[in-house]
Amino acid sequence: MKSNHIQHLYWRVGFGILPNELEKFSKKSKKKIVDDIIETSQKVTPLKVDTAELDELLSGSYEKTKENIKKFQKLSREKTKELNIAWIDRLSNSNQILREKMTLFWANHFVCEDNNYVYTQNFHNRLREHALGNFKDFVKAISKEAAMTKYLNTKQNKKQKPNENFARELMELFTLGVGNYTENDIKESAKAFTGYSHNLKGEFVFKKRVHDETDKIFFGKTGNFDGDDIVDLILEKRECATFICTKIYSYFVNDTINEQHVNEMANVFYKDYNIENLMRYMMLADWFYDDENMGTKIKSPIELLVGLKTVVPVDFKSSKQLFNLQKLLGQVLLNPPNVAGWKGGRSWIDSNTITLRLKLPSIILNNAYISKVKAGKTDESILKSKQAFKKKYGQRFKTETNWAVFDTHFSDVSMTDLDKHLLACAISSHASTYLNSLSKVSKREYCIQLMSLPEYQMC
């Protein structure tokens, strides 16, 4: 398999690939590489943080006093931030790259958030569990998650007064897309989800006494449908397979949709709604590696951060700083902007975020900086410039950078070939002129210079 195709594959279904791995995989066929990616992602490893204090508050002796409620809310906020940081660490270090990338994708599809950490963690791991499984089982499981029943008000959905929030978003955002259902379908399907609830521990509870057991007319069919029946009927429509494949194509292939390719994917997906089979087909398709699809997507803030950490491992000495950095970049994990999630694509870039994105490598890899020292200046002047740089930015982002890992992985890569490993697209003439105007003190510094180019924003 061609090296640039392997890099493209790993930028899209992961967060990049290091030179030694690239060299090893270049001797394998496309099928073997794809099989290996899928095989290593078979195992499901839940992501959890210590919840002993929360578990104690949720035990049988839990009293809903103002003091306990405030304590629980404070702990939930703290634990949610811990999970946020742990998730970024998992994305940066997991061998199960496809499952983790798919978990990130589904988190912006089945959009949900909650102020109860137990519900948040359960929901997060439900995404990971079903990320490569059967989509029908996935939708049914999500509909019963405590975080979702709270977020879209299914808990308030009772036969006396149906709440249509979940039923509407189920079809509009999760399965079919606008135009493939009617307002009456929403009203009738909402009745089927009446009685969905949960207990304090986040376990699903079906309250039969508030469930509407009358016949519902949904998509022209009549029956005493429950929530699972509604999901079955939705997935009978091929529009569901097309809708999901369009979103996956946009996320993993190209923001500009190729209807022929999406239709091919939908043909595969509609057979059994097996997500793993769909992803295998996409990764093996010749068109996935077309020039028009390579280096054309703007990295999300998380893809940018994790990709950078893949090349040069870096830890933030204060987790609060990493959390705040996500805010500045416009994507905080576990904190979506609304039920539709992040738009992605060009929305990641504006006048504020592009400035930060371009400065980010030199800011957080603060043992180096972009040198603008002209040839002929003394080493002492270079040192003073570095010290001034660290003084300006060091207080804002205190990081510990493991350049030794970079040195090891890139030891056999020449300075002139470094761009081939770091950039997904060709360097423009303007960028080349800029690079040539900078002194290249070391391979480490050239790495930062390349990461600070607009081209590094692409994958």
Question: For the purposes of burial, counting CB atoms within 10 Å of the CB of 218, is it exposed (0-12), middle (13-18) or buried (19 or more)?
Answer: buried
Q: Which two tokens stand for residue 66?
A: 């103002």
H-run or E-run covering 217 = strand 216-218
- Please give the pLDDT value at position 378: 46
Specify whether 278 is located in the same domain as 360: no
What is the CA angle 282-132-202, rounded to 5?
150
CA distance 213 to 205: 17
Boundary (domain end) residue, out of 293, 312, 335: 293
CA distance 368 to 379: 14
CA distance 268 to 276: 11
Specify whether 370 is located in the same domain as 244: no
Radius of gyration of the chain (CA): 24
Evaluate whether residue 102 is within a structural domain: no
Task: Report how many helices (DSSP H) and strands (DSSP E) the chain contains, helices first.
Answer: 23, 6
Per-residue model confidence as pLDDT tens for the chain (459 residues): 999 999 999 999 999 999 999 999 999 999 999 999 999 999 999 999 998 888 888 776 667 788 888 999 999 999 999 999 999 999 999 999 999 999 999 999 999 999 999 999 999 999 999 999 999 999 999 999 999 999 999 999 999 999 999 999 999 999 999 999 999 999 999 999 999 999 988 999 999 999 999 999 999 999 999 999 999 999 999 999 999 999 999 999 999 999 999 999 999 999 999 999 999 999 999 999 999 999 999 999 999 999 999 999 999 988 999 999 999 999 999 999 999 999 999 999 999 899 999 999 999 987 555 555 444 444 555 455 555 545 554 456 789 999 999 999 999 999 999 999 999 999 999 999 988 888 878 999 999 999 999 999 999
Evaluate whether residue 326 is within a structural domain: yes
Q: Considering its fold, how many domains does the chain have in total?
A: 2
- Please give the pLDDT value at position 26: 94
What percent of the residues of the chain are helix, what percent strand, and what percent coil, each to the nearest 5?
A: 60, 5, 35
pTM for the full predicted model: 0.94
Question: For the purposes of burial, counting CB atoms within 10 Å of the CB of 390, is it exposed (0-12), middle (13-18) or buried (19 or more)?
Answer: middle
CA distance 276 to 243: 17
Query: In this structure, are residues 151 and 123 in contact, taking their beta carbons and an 8 Å threshold?
Result: no
Query: In this structure, are residues 168 and 186 in contact, taking their beta carbons and an 8 Å threshold?
Result: yes
Specify whether 283 is located in the same domain as 359: no
Specify whether 419 is located in the same domain as 277: no
Specify whether 423 is located in the same domain as 307: yes
Residues 6 or more apart in contact with residue 393 via CB below 8 angstroms: 362, 363, 366
Specify whether 343 is located in the same domain as 278: no
Specify whether 314 is located in the same domain as 336: yes
Nearest residue to 157 (alpha-carbon basis) of 203, 197, 217: 197
- Count the neighbouring beta carbons within 10 Å of the beta carbon of residue 202: 21
Specify whether 387 is located in the same domain as 316: yes
CA distance 425 to 253: 15
Evaluate whether residue 123 is within a structural domain: no
Specify whether 244 is located in the same domain as 310: no
Specify whether 332 is located in the same domain as 308: yes
Evaluate whether residue 368 is within a structural domain: yes
Nearest residue to 202 (alpha-carbon basis) of 146, 154, 148: 146
Evaluate whether residue 367 is within a structural domain: yes
- Please give the pLDDT value at position 415: 93
Evaluate whether residue 433 is within a structural domain: yes
Specify whether 324 is located in the same domain as 387: yes
Boundary (domain end) residue, out of 266, 293, 320: 293
CA distance 431 to 370: 14
Evaluate whether residue 378 is within a structural domain: yes
Specify whether 282 is located in the same domain as 336: no
Evaluate whether residue 440 is within a structural domain: yes
- Please give the pLDDT value at position 372: 52
Range of the domain at 286: 3-40+238-293
Boundary (domain end) residue, out of 247, 276, 293: 293
- Please give the pLDDT value at position 117: 95
Query: In this structure, are residues 192 and 226 in contact, taking their beta carbons and an 8 Å threshold?
Result: yes
- Please give the pLDDT value at position 156: 95
The alpha carbon torsion through 370, 374, 375, 378 (nearest 10 deg) reads -90
